[in-house]
Amino acid sequence: MSNNNKKVWLITGSSTGFGRSLAEAVLAHGDSLVATARKPEQLNELINKYPESAKAVRLDVTNQLEVKAAVDDTLEAFGRIDVLVNNAGYGLIGALEEVSDEQIRRNFETNLFGAINTIRAVLPIMRQQKSGHILNMSAIAGFSNELGFSIYGGAKFALEGVSEAVYGEVAPLGIKVTIVEPGPFRTDFIGRSLDRAETSIDDYQKTVGKFLQFLDKIEGSQPGDPDKAAQALIQVVNSKNPPLRLVLGKYAYNKFRKKIKSLTAELDVWEQIAANTDFETAKANS
């Protein structure tokens, strides 16, 4: 790969899971990388393996000063930012009534506002370059939510809404945006990265409790391979026409299609009532 074809990646949450698999794949592909983590020492082995093309930076995405510093460090090390991957995040499971105020706010701060912080920090650079690609790691719960993921899925839904608008805002400037929607992958999401409600209410055991049992059952045997997902993301970044949404894994694809089918059926049933709420003059001109 020639130097002209190399890309500079900035990946948040690179120490484990998707972020670590993607960091390793990016470097093996021959690109340059600033890998961030709240504990950058966890990346020492990776950095030592690629001393010329990799740099580790401390970053808590909820801290705007650290976000700016990470962007500045990337520019100082490699002179540009071609790809931003908003991967930092974690889950929260519990009925809406069970999770605490603090859990709700902290989850949104990381999964939504943290991503917004980094997007806003890199856009001036990408606008100046007239190029760039932003990958926002959502989840299939960000399109078709699960019982017990009201807050986690809600934050991802919001991130997808932001991403859709930004996609259109920056397209004329040569900047691309892709929302990544994985299903269950064999990472530490269900274990270390899944916060659980501080209280438990018996009335939710048949709904939220059932989904939590499913998660605990598949822990360690999730069907998704994060290394294969990393290769898919590299292909997307090198595509001339990348998708707005990239759905990863058969589980996620099935849920995505099922929701589309359900939405279409519901629209058809209620179309006559819902569509007839315009003023008569508006209907006449439509």
CA-wise closest residue to 87 among 42, 122, 17, 137: 137
Alpha-carbon span 146 to 152, nearest angstrom: 10
Alpha-carbon span 147 to 209, nearest angstrom: 9
Residues 86, 117 contacting (CB under 8 angstroms): no
Interior angle at CA 283, CA 282 and CA 286, nearest 5: 85
Catalytic amino acids?
A: 138, 152, 156
Quick one: 200 exposed, middle or buried, by C-beta within 10 A (0-12, 13-18, 19+)? Answer: middle
